Amino acid sequence: MSTLDRSDVARLAALARIDMTDADLDRLSGQLDVILDAVAKVAEVAGEDVPATSHPIPMANVHREDVVRPSLAQEAALSGAPDAQDGRFRVPQILGEEA
C-alpha cells in the first residue's frame, strides 16, 4: 500500500511550482493516494516475467534524417512571448540560482 502524506504532496507541489493552500493539500493527499493504490494493484498482478513497460506500442527506431527544415522567423518565434527584447525572450530576474 502506498502512502502519500501531506508533506510529500507539499514537496511535489513546490517542485512543480504549484501554489497550494492548506485545504488543497489536505484534499489532494487523499486523492493522490487513491490513484497510487490503483497503480499498486497493477504491480500486484504483474509477475516477475512482465517487464516494466514505458512504451505500450512495440515499436522502436523511428528516426529522422539529419536534414535541415525551415525554422520559424524570429518575429513568429517571439510572437507568443509575454515580453521580448533584442530578438530574445525577456524573462524576469532569475533568483537564487546561477547560470
Work out how close the CB of 79 gets to other proteins at its nearest, in angstroms, rounded to a whole number: 11
The helix/strand/coil state of 74 is helix
Binding site for other proteins (CB under 8 A): 15, 17, 54-55, 57, 59-74, 77-78, 80, 85-94, 96-99
* Shortest Å, Cβ 98 to other proteins: 5
CB of 42 or CB of 73, closer to other proteins: 73
The DSSP letter of residue 40 is H
* Residue 29 phi, psi (nearest 5): -65, -35
Other beta carbons less than 10 A from residue 93's beta carbon: 5
* Min separation Cβ 47 and other proteins, Å: 21
